[in-house]
Amino acid sequence: MQQQVILASQSPRRKQLLEWAEVPFTIVVKETAETYPESMAIAEVPVHIARQKALAVREQLQSEKPAVDSPVILAADTVVVLGKRIIGKPKSRQDAIDTLTDLAGQRHDVITGVVILHQEKEISFYDVTHVEFHYLSADEIAFYVDKYKPYDKAGAYAIQEWIGVVGIKSIEGDFYNVMGLPVSRVVRALKDLSVL
């Protein structure tokens, strides 16, 4: 029998990527603080936050329907890393403009942490994609921010939007990881768990 997969995310991109992968799933979301210890290694941060999201949903489901066959819970978190700095979602128009000004002409990393909870098991991993932007003019940055309002995107941009189409010089690694889910690795992990 196929196990039920719960996507613990309100991100429309993650939903779309799982649909493209033909993975049957339902969505359950629980707000989490998304905090991490300052001393934590950068690459561990998105896994740590994804784990918080997954555990919060598991707790909610258990309080609603205790001990009914435990579903598979999938959560993810995406951060943009420039040098040693983690860049999350922009807090304002100016913050988005400043972030894109910093990213322009530079290479940065996009790291998505993934946590899959299945019965007593946890599978966790992260995937890194290197992205290099062309130089972007102040007018291009302002146009993008005002038209696309990237306030729900880590690093103030979406690779799948205009700025990704015209502004990215190179990418090394999984494109879908930048969009929010390293979906081919997720599918393989679900197969290893005999969920798919």
Ligand X SMILES: Cc1cn([C@H]2C[C@H](O)[C@@H](COP(=O)(O)OP(=O)(O)OP(=O)(O)O)O2)c(=O)[nH]c1=O
Place of tokens 């939903």: 15
Give the residue with the Cβ less far from ligand X, 87 or 190: 87
Task: Tell me the residue type at 163.
Answer: I
Stretch that binds ligand X, among 18-26, 37-45, 97-105, 147-155 (CB under 6 A): 147-155
118 binds ligand X (CB under 6 A): no
Residue 4 Cα to chain centre, angstroms: 21
* Cβ 166 vs Cβ 172: under 8 Å: no
Range 135-166 burial, b when 16+ CB lie within 10 A, else e = ebeeebbeebbeebebeebbbbbbbbeebbee
- Provide, rounded to whole angstroms, the least separation between the CB of residue 2 and ligand X: 23
Token pair for residue 95? 């913050």
In the chain, what is the straight-line distance between the N-terminal and C-terminal CA atoms, in Å? 10
Stretch that binds ligand X, among 18-26, 57-65, 118-126, 152-160 (CB under 6 A): 152-160
102 catalytic, yes or no?
no
Question: 90, 155, 167, 182: which one contacts ligand X (CB under 6 A)?
Answer: 155
* Cβ 147 vs Cβ 162: under 8 Å: yes
Q: Smallest Cα–Cα separation from 156: which of 167, 120, 63? A: 167
- Provide, rounded to whole angstroms, the least separation between the CB of residue 105 and ligand X: 17
Catalytic pick from 69, 77, 102, 152?
77
Q: Tell me the helix, strand and coil percentages in the chain, rounded to 5.
A: 40, 25, 35
113 binds ligand X (CB under 6 A): no
Give the residue with the Cβ less far from ligand X, 69 or 123: 123
Contact positions with ligand X (CB under 6 A) in 51-110: 53, 76-78, 80, 110
Give the residue with the Cβ less far from ligand X, 11 or 68: 11
- Provide, rounded to whole angstroms, the least separation between the CB of residue 36 and ligand X: 12
Give the residue with the Cβ less far from ligand X, 181 or 196: 181
9 binds ligand X (CB under 6 A): yes
d(CA 177, CA 159) in angstroms, rounded, equals: 10
Residues within the interface to ligand X (CB under 6 A): 9-11, 13, 29, 53, 76-78, 80, 110, 152-155, 157-160, 178-180
